[in-house]
């Protein structure tokens, strides 16, 4: 019998594989239960997936992004407050939404209609040091020679349920190199595409 479990990051897959080999059946059953809980995190039973495409403009300190959320599991998500939404569609049609600022740096978006099958969001903006004064001193910023985009800066739409798989397509200047968790699917001179389970 072969069981394939999917976790939010490749790092956890590697760690769990090591534990399974070293500790045997007991830890395998624990991981199987954990995997089932993660996979059933949405009401529909489908794991939310995000196709994230973004381009970084290091000289301007900005990113432009287009995200397709498939099986979102909720009509709510959170995003960095410095990001400006240019367009949002639900199931291919423009949709209205409400916003609620949760704190200085996070805004929650709620679609006006029930949970759709897909949500498409186009947005752009900077990652401002003034929004994250305690954590952005040397990291989590977009600069001409260095860019780091950690999850807690919420530069991507974070669904209300929290769990999702994603594919990441990054466009950046030729002098930059992408380092992330996940599996490299394709790499070209100005484009790399990654997938995480």
Q: Are residues 74 and 23 in the same domain?
A: no
Q: Indicate the number of domains in the chain.
A: 2
**Residue 160 confidence (pLDDT):** 77
Q: Residue 68: pLDDT band by 50, 70, 90 thresholds?
A: very high
Q: Are residues 64 and 84 in the same domain?
A: yes
Q: Are residues 56 and 82 in the same domain?
A: yes
User: What gap in Å lies between CA 42 and CA 161, rounded to an integer?
Assistant: 7
Q: For residues 161-189, b (16+ Cβ closer than 10 Å) or e, as one string?
A: bebbbbbbbbbbeeebeeeeebeeeeeee
| Stronger pLDDT, 8 or 134, i.e. the higher one | 134
List pLDDT tens digits, range 31-61. Answer: 333 333 333 344 446 788 888 898 988 888 8
Residue 88 is encoded by which pair of tokens?
Answer: 């949002």
**Residue 138 confidence (pLDDT):** 60
Q: Are residues 148 and 70 in the same domain?
A: yes
Q: Assess if residue 35 is contained within a domain.
A: yes
Q: Assess if residue 3 is contained within a domain.
A: no
Q: Are residues 63 and 150 in the same domain?
A: yes
For position 123, which CATH number holds?
2.60.40.1730
Q: Assess if residue 5 is contained within a domain.
A: no
Contact 182, 196 (CB under 8 A): yes
- Provide the sign of the torsion angle of the four alpha carbons 151, 12, 147, 54, taken in this order: negative
Q: Is the pLDDT of residue 27 over 50?
A: no
Q: Assess if residue 4 is contained within a domain.
A: no
Q: Are residues 182 and 138 in the same domain?
A: yes
Q: Assess if residue 21 is contained within a domain.
A: yes
How many other C-beta atoms lie within 10 A of the C-beta of residue 73? 21
Q: Are residues 18 and 80 in the same domain?
A: no
Average pLDDT over residues 15-40: 33
Q: Are residues 82 and 148 in the same domain?
A: yes
Q: Are residues 35 and 53 in the same domain?
A: no
Q: Is the pLDDT of residue 128 over 90?
A: no
Q: Assess if residue 76 is contained within a domain.
A: yes
Q: Are residues 113 and 171 in the same domain?
A: yes
- Distances from the Cα of 192 to the Cαs of 53, 95, 121, 168, in angstroms? 10, 31, 21, 8
Q: Assess if residue 1 is contained within a domain.
A: no
Q: Are residues 17 and 103 in the same domain?
A: no
Q: Assess if residue 146 is contained within a domain.
A: yes
Q: Are residues 35 and 56 in the same domain?
A: no
* Domain residue limits at 16: 10-39
């Amino acid at each position: 019998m072969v069981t394939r479990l999917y976790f939010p990051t490749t790092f956890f897959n590697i760690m769990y594989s090591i534990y399974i080999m070293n500790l045997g059946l007991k830890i395998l059953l624990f991981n199987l239960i954990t995997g089932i809980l993660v996979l059933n995190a949405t009401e529909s039973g489908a794991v939310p997936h995000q196709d994230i495409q973004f381009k970084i403009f290091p000289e301007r300190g900005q990113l432009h992004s287009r995200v397709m959320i498939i099986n979102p599991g909720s009509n709510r998500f959170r995003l960095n407050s410095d990001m400006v939404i240019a367009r949002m569609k639900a199931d291919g049609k423009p949709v209205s939404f409400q916003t609620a600022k949760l704190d200085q740096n996070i805004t929650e978006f709620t679609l006006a209609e029930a949970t759709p099958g897909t949500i498409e969001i186009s947005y752009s903006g900077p990652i401002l040091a003034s929004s994250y004064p305690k954590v952005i001193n040397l990291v989590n910023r977009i600069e001409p020679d260095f860019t780091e985009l950690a999850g807690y800066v919420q530069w991507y739409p974070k669904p209300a349920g929290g769990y999702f798989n994603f594919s990441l397509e990054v466009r950046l200047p030729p002098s930059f190199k992408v380092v992330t968790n996940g599996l490299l699917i394709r790499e070209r001179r100005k484009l790399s595409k990654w997938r995480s389970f």
